Amino acid sequence: MLPSNLNDNSSPWYQVIVEGEVPCIKLTGSYTLAALDQQLRKVGAKLACFAAQPDLHWDLTGIQQMDLAGAVLIWRAWGMRRPVHLLVKSKQDGFFIHLEKASPAPKPVRRDILWPILTLGRRFFLFWDHLFGLIMLFGQVLLNIFYLIKHPKQIPLREISANLFRTGAQALGITAVVGFLIGIVLSYLSSEQLHTFGADVFIVNILGMSIIRELGPMLAGILVAGRSGSSMTAQLGVMRVTEELDALTVMGIPHSLRLVLPKMIALGIAMPLVVLWTSAIALLGGILAADVQIGLNYQYALSSLPDAVPVENLWIGLGKGAVCGMTIALIACHFGLRVKPNTESLGEGTTNSVVTSITAVILIDAIFAVVFSNVGLKMAR
């Protein structure tokens, strides 16, 4: 007697055949994702119902076409194991051999009730690990500097020159465009407010102090962190992927001497110059916008700029640039040397490098603002 759940033999996907006392199900048609389409769930549920019969014979030789989706459908209907009685073609059997060897899907992990504390703890230890790595790398760079002072012939002048060109000269275009536009925006916003109170001439004070002391170094630092910092991290990361760093280690060439130190020196020299360039272009854009908006004569603006902005502010801005430049290079090299030999780690390291560098630039700007709060400012009495 045929079991009740085997009575349906009218489906185009299978045929139920009973020879004597041996029931057999013969799969027919095309078991491909395109052919099954909307019938995928329905056919899978019906095959699972058939698979509940332990003595049922399975014949897959009638399948015209089968892809991995169809094989997975049948495999799941079998309960992730082959039936005892199975007739299958050799080409089709390759799918099931692959599914047998495949590792099972991981079970969903239930979150612990203390998962926020655990996550915060892991983040703290990760932050401490990176901070400790940065300190170690900076210490190694200092040792290399002392070594080069005693052996000046081994100073990597070519590496410093190449990095100076890439991080300095090639960054002048983007910094000029952004600085010019920021100067125009700041001038338009400030001139409208000052014109309301009849204090148009003070636009020079606002532009000079805000750009030379704060916005110029900040813009240059953020742009260089996104442009040059990411480039340094990606360069070292690719060297890790292509095993060039391992080759340098085998040859006895320290990474910090030939890769990290030239980048830090070059960016430490280039950043003050980029800051000066960005501030000058931003002031130019602000003065031109003020001339158009409120009719402020540019000759008057240039002549009154030294009196409105003490020279100490320029030195503070250049100092910010030097410190930010060396910090960006140090962070970029740190994350670049920690890249693992795979593309996913390369992208993650580059992203972390840029985010950390921009955060460090803002933090350095805040520290300079607090430390030099009484320098270069005309305090009202």
**How high is the pLDDT of residue 8?**
54
Residue 219, phi then psi, degrees to nearest 5: -65, -45
Residues 321, 175 within the same domain: yes
Last residue of a domain, one of 52, 67, 101: 101
Nearest to 217 by CA among 366, 370, 373, 351: 366
Ranges in the chain, pLDDT < 50: 1-5, 379-381
pLDDT score for 298: 78
Q: What is the pTM of this model?
A: 0.71
Has residue 108 been placed in a domain? no
| Residue 2, pLDDT score | 46
Last residue of a domain, one of 67, 101, 135: 101
Pair 61, 155 in one domain: no
Domain end call among 86, 101, 116 = 101
Provide the domain count of the chain.
2
Residue 122 in tokens? 């892991």
**Angle at CA of residue 272, ends 303 and 367, nearest 5°:** 100
Quick check: is 192 in a domain? yes
Look at residue 182 in the predicted model and tell me its pLDDT.
Answer: 92
What pLDDT is stored for residue 128 in this prediction?
92
Residues 192 and 235 in one domain: yes
Same domain, 186 and 282: yes
Same domain, 153 and 93: no
**Confidence at residue 279, expressed as pLDDT on a 0 to 100 scale:** 92
CATH number at residue 58: 3.30.750
Domain that includes residue 202, residue range: 124-371
Cα–Cα distances (Å) from 181 to 44, 217, 219, 272, 314, in that order, read 62, 15, 11, 20, 21
Residue 186 placed within a domain: yes
Same domain, 35 and 182: no
Alpha helices in 85-229 (DSSP H): 90-101, 115-150, 157-167, 172-196, 203-208, 216-224
Is there a domain that residue 119 lies in? Answer: no
Residues 37, 184: one domain? no
CA distance 37 to 39: 6
CA 10 vs CA 25, 28, 46, 63: distances in Å: 12, 11, 12, 16
